[in-house]
């Protein structure tokens, strides 16, 4: 993997999202935020996440999707159950993944973080392929950017978020980074 001037990585599938903007001037990208997502909830393999992040989700397609009307979010990356990595936003831009959040005494984590979504839920383990792909991606990002910390969405927004959830094995992930 190698970034171009905007922060698009080579070797991953690109699905550009319009849901991003400029980072604040001189914002160091020093936090990696791990998320979990499935759309519809607890269902895997479709293209609903991609359509959601690109504002193309048909809200009449599933009852759950109705509550997502008007929501504009994105993440830099998605790691699918089979380990495929999809990039939605170049790393040099601010993706809209963290929402109201705080880390290390700083608020607005989107300003200084890269967001990685894992296709999954709070109710079952992530796959070995996902841990392998996440570790590879994380090692690369740590070489390319001054990332000091890795946190879950639940760590930066504990009052409102639970992901990546109780089945995310932090020890397994961190061992693969070594």
Per-residue pLDDT reduced to its tens digit, 17-41? 999 999 999 999 999 999 999 999 9
- Is 126 part of a structural domain of the chain? yes
- Is 46 part of a structural domain of the chain? yes
Overall number of domains in the chain: 1
- Is 2 part of a structural domain of the chain? no
Residues carrying an active site annotation = 117
Average pLDDT of span 123-130: 98
pLDDT at 166 over 90: yes
- Is 4 part of a structural domain of the chain? no
Looking at every residue in the chain, the average pLDDT score rounds to: 96
CA dihedral sign of residues 170, 37, 71, 54: positive
Which CATH number characterizes residue 97's domain? Answer: 3.40.80.10
**Rounded to an integer, what distance in angstroms lies between the CA atom of residue 41 and that of residue 44?**
8
The residue range of the domain holding 138 is 13-177
Q: Taking the complete model, does pTM exceed 0.85, yes or no?
A: yes
- Is 144 part of a structural domain of the chain? yes
- Is 159 part of a structural domain of the chain? yes
As a whole-number percent, the residues of the chain with pLDDT over 70 amount to 100
Beta strands in 69-176 (DSSP E): 77-79, 85-87, 93-95, 102-103, 106-107, 113-119, 149-152
Chain centroid to Cα 26, Å, comes to 22
């Amino acid at each position: 993997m190698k970034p171009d001037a905007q922060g698009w990585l080579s070797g991953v599938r690109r699905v550009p999202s319009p849901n991003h903007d400029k980072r604040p001037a001189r914002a160091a990208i020093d936090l990696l935020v791990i998320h979990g997502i499935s759309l519809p909830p607890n269902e895997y393999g479709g293209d609903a996440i991609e359509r959601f992040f690109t504002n193309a989700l048909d809200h009449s397609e599933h009852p759950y999707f109705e509550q997502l009307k008007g929501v504009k979010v994105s993440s830099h990356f998605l790691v699918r159950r089979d380990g495929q990595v999809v990039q939605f936003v170049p790393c040099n831009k601010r993706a809209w993944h963290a929402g109201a959040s705080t880390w290390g005494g700083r608020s607005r984590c989107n300003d200084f973080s890269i967001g990685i979504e894992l296709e999954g839920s709070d109710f079952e383990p992530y796959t070995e392929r996902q841990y392998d792909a996440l570790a590879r991606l994380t090692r690369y990002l740590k070489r390319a950017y001054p990332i000091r910390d890795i946190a879950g969405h639940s760590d930066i927004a504990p009052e409102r978020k639970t992901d990546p959830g109780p089945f995310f094995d932090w020890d397994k992930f961190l061992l693969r980074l070594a």
